[in-house]
């Protein structure tokens, strides 16, 4: 019978619940268990696909085309498991399905209520994952903080499920904060006591506490937390700040968290450290031999998480090359005011990520022009690729006013446009080209060299496409179509002849990159950036001034 680990958060948000769940997932996987993870989001949106990145951070995309919470990215990166639509459930989705059933008359005249109808639907979503082939443990993370009104139906569903599966088959892990109060020179346990008390009011007893703290605490503090919160002392784990998030699983394992969990769930699995992770991820991340400076030019750069998977994938490319990646986040709207050449000085590679809407496009076009003309490695992703096409059309093919019809419906050269099947689409939710598609690679291109294959699967999230009416003209001018989706004859990858490394993809490779399995294109991009003469110039300059 599959077991359940429910993870809740207390005191404040942003304590790193997603990373904690992903880390526990990795540890249990290393012990030989088949783990899956699920994020329960208490908001009413059916999925985060319609939310602004300023609100929600990145929208993560799965192979099966779910527009999902970015925590699924942590789950995939840490555990290597492939997430699906079922791994992220929102209150909106739960209500949508209950209301649909009600309209169909499925409730046979009953009054439809939060308990039992909404809670039953939540339980169904959780147990559906557990019923998957061979799953030993479902780690189920509840978004938000205990005490939030909208989280209540989820916690009630968990309370019921715990009771149904019985002792030894489910446990609660609570992530909390133990703040350091400078004036008193003390770590304070009261917020944790309150938060655990709040959980208890709802009928849930925390079994394990992950205490986020900036200072390690003494045995007496541990004892106090254990006693007042009703948990065993060895189940009070110190989640100290680490140098690199990829260290978190090792920090937990050192404190025996995996042993404690297995004991509480009556499971016996041989002790096994995540050795591969330690050697190939953490040690590499902490001991880089080189440094490379890259720019991400986008419009959501102030938001910590808007390009989460891009930043992670760049780091992975760095891990593969033993290089520390210094990412300069450049606001594409500001770029023109500051001057492109000035702002991109010392930059060894430019990446333009995905995005929507016209704001900031001109800055992106100028950054691309600079990278193309100066031979600086360039990586365009989704909107980044579309911008590369617009820039090339305007400045190389002399198509004045070339644009995407997303930004200029009357452009004389619609080099990026909607496919017919997208033209009638009005609904915003889940209506883009989403999820994994096969991309056939053209031999002897940079992409084929990077992948070392002739066919790959990559994830999509976009509406607009390269307009094939301009393909011949652009190819004659030096653009190389290095990857296509053959069934629809859609351009998936582009590069430029005669440029050290200029690659742009319509798909989002960042979603498939793992720290222990860096994505080939990110690896090749970082490798190219490390070789730029530009880089050598900036290095010798540093050497001189030293």
Indicate which residues carry an active-site annotation: 382, 508, 510
Nearer CB in complex with ligand GLN: 42/354: 354
Among 196, 220, 197, which Cα is nearest to 208's?
A: 196
Residue 158 engages ligand GLN in binding (rule: CB under 6 A): no
Nearer CB in complex with ligand GLN: 383/436: 383
Residue 75 engages ligand GLN in binding (rule: CB under 6 A): no
Q: Give me the least distance between CB of 245 and ligand GLN, in Å please.
A: 25
Residues 489 and 43: their CA atoms lie apart, in Å, by: 39
Angle at 368 between CA 363 and CA 371, to 5 degrees: 125
Q: Which residues pair with 434 in a beta bridge?
A: 461
Considering CB under 6 A, how many residues would be counted as binding ligand GLN?
10
Pick from 215, 463, 471, 539 the residue near ligand GLN by CB under 6 A. 463
Residue 307 engages ligand GLN in binding (rule: CB under 6 A): no
Nearer CB in complex with ligand GLN: 139/382: 382
Residue in the shown chain whose Cβ atom is closest to ligand GLN:
354
Residue 77 engages ligand GLN in binding (rule: CB under 6 A): no
Nearer CB in complex with ligand GLN: 343/461: 461
Residue 464 engages ligand GLN in binding (rule: CB under 6 A): yes
Q: Give me the least distance between CB of 391 and ligand GLN, in Å please.
A: 15
Nearer CB in complex with ligand GLN: 149/427: 427
Nearer CB in complex with ligand GLN: 2/354: 354
- Other C-beta atoms within 10 Å of 255: how many? 17
Residues 391 and 438: their CA atoms lie apart, in Å, by: 27
Quick check: helix, strand or coil at residue 174? Answer: strand
Residue 490 engages ligand GLN in binding (rule: CB under 6 A): no
From 5-13, 87-95, 352-360, 370-378, give the range in contact with ligand GLN by CB under 6 A: 352-360
Q: With both helix axes pointing from N to C terminus, report the angle between 17-30 and 71-79 in degrees, rounded to the nearest 10.
A: 20
Residue 312 engages ligand GLN in binding (rule: CB under 6 A): no
Among 489, 494, 482, 483, which Cα is nearest to 457's?
A: 483
Residue 356 engages ligand GLN in binding (rule: CB under 6 A): yes
Residue 355 engages ligand GLN in binding (rule: CB under 6 A): yes
Residue 298 engages ligand GLN in binding (rule: CB under 6 A): no
Return the DSSP state at 85.
G
Residue 435 engages ligand GLN in binding (rule: CB under 6 A): no
Nearer CB in complex with ligand GLN: 96/356: 356
From 139-147, 320-328, 459-467, 534-542, give the range in contact with ligand GLN by CB under 6 A: 459-467
Within 8 A by CB and 6+ apart from 75, the residues are: 18, 21, 22, 25, 37, 39, 81, 83, 87
Q: Give me the least distance between CB of 353 and ligand GLN, in Å please.
A: 7
Which residues from 492-531 bind ligand GLN, rule CB under 6 A? none
Residue 73 engages ligand GLN in binding (rule: CB under 6 A): no
Residue 11 engages ligand GLN in binding (rule: CB under 6 A): no
Within 8 A by CB and 6+ apart from 520, the residues are: 450, 451, 452
Q: Within a 13 Å sphere around the CA of 366, how many CA atoms are in the beta-carbon half? A: 19
Residues 163 and 170: their CA atoms lie apart, in Å, by: 9
Residue 60: phi, psi to the nearest 5? -85, 145
Residue 462 engages ligand GLN in binding (rule: CB under 6 A): yes
- Give the start-end residues of each E strand in 189-317: 208-213, 236-240, 290-298
Q: Which residues pair with 458 in a beta bridge?
A: 437
Residues 238 and 255: their CA atoms lie apart, in Å, by: 8
Q: Within a 13 Å sphere around the CA of 147, how many CA atoms are in the beta-carbon half? A: 15
Within 8 A by CB and 6+ apart from 197, the residues are: none
Q: Give me the least distance between CB of 386 and ligand GLN, in Å please.
A: 6
| Binding mask of the shown chain, residues 371 to 390, with x at each position contacting ligand GLN by CB under 6 A | -----------xx-------
Among 350, 359, 304, 307, which Cα is nearest to 328's?
A: 350
Q: Which residues bind ligand GLN (CB under 6 A)?
A: 354-356, 382-383, 406, 461-464
């Amino acid at each position: 019978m599959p077991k359940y680990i429910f993870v809740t958060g207390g005191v404040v948000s942003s304590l790193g619940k997603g990373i904690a769940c992903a880390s526990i997932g990795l540890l249990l996987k290393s012990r030989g268990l088949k783990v899956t993870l699920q994020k329960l989001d208490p908001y009413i949106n059916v999925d985060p696909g319609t939310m602004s990145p300023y609100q929600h951070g990145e929208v993560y995309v799965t192979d099966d085309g779910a527009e999902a919470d970015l925590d699924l990215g942590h789950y995939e990166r840490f555990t290597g498991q492939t997430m699906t639509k079922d791994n992220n459930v929102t209150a909106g989705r739960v209500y949508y399905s209950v209301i649909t059933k009600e309209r169909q008359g499925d409730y046979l005249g009953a009054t439809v209520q939060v308990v039992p109808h909404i809670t039953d639907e939540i339980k169904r979503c959780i147990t559906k994952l557990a019923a998957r082939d061979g799953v030993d443990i479902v780690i189920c993370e509840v978004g938000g903080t205990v005490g939030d009104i909208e989280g209540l139906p989820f916690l009630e569903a968990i309370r019921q499920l715990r009771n149904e599966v019985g002792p030894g088959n489910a446990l609660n892990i609570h992530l909390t904060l133990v703040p350091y109060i400078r004036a008193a020179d003390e770590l304070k346990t009261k917020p944790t006591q309150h938060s655990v008390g709040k959980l208890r009011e709802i009928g849930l007893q925390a079994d394990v506490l992950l205490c986020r703290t900036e200072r390690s605490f003494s045995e007496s503090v541990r004892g106090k937390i254990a006693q007042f919160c009703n948990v065993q002392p060895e189940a009070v784990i110190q989640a100290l700040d680490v140098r690199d998030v990829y260290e978190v699983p090792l920090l937990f394992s050192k404190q025996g968290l995996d042993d404690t969990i297995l004991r509480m769930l009556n499971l016996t699995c041989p002790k096994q450290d995540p050795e591969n992770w330690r050697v190939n991820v953490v040690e590499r991340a902490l001991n880089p031999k080189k440094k490379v400076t890259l720019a991400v030019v986008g419009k959501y750069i102030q938001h910590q998480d808007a390009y989460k998977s891009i930043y992670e994938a760049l780091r992975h490319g760095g891990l593969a090359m033993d290089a520390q990646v210094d990412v300069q986040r450049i606001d594409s709207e500001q770029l023109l005011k500051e001057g492109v050449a000035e702002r991109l000085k010392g930059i060894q590679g430019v990446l333009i990520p995905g995005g929507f809407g016209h704001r900031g496009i001109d800055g992106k076009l100028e950054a691309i022009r600079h990278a193309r003309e100066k031979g600086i490695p360039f990586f365009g992703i989704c909107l980044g690729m579309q911008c590369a096409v617009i820039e090339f059309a305007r400045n190389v093919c002399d198509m004045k006013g070339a644009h995407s019809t997303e930004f200029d419906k009357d452009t004389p050269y619609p080099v990026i446009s909607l496919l017919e099947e997208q033209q009638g689409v009005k609904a915003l939710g889940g209506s883009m080209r989403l999820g994994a598609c096969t991309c056939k690679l053209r031999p002897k291109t940079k992409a084929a060299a990077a992948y070392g294959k002739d066919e790959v699967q990559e994830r999509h999230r976009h509406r607009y496409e390269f307009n094939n009416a301009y393909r011949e003209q652009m190819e004659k001018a030096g653009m190389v179509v290095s990857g296509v989706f053959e069934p629809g004859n859609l351009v998936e990858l582009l590069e430029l002849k005669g440029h050290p490394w200029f690659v742009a993809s319509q798909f989002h490779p960042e979603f498939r990159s793992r720290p222990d399995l860096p994505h080939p294109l990110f690896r090749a991009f970082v490798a190219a950036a490390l070789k730029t003469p530009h880089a050598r110039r900036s290095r010798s300059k540093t050497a001189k001034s030293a």
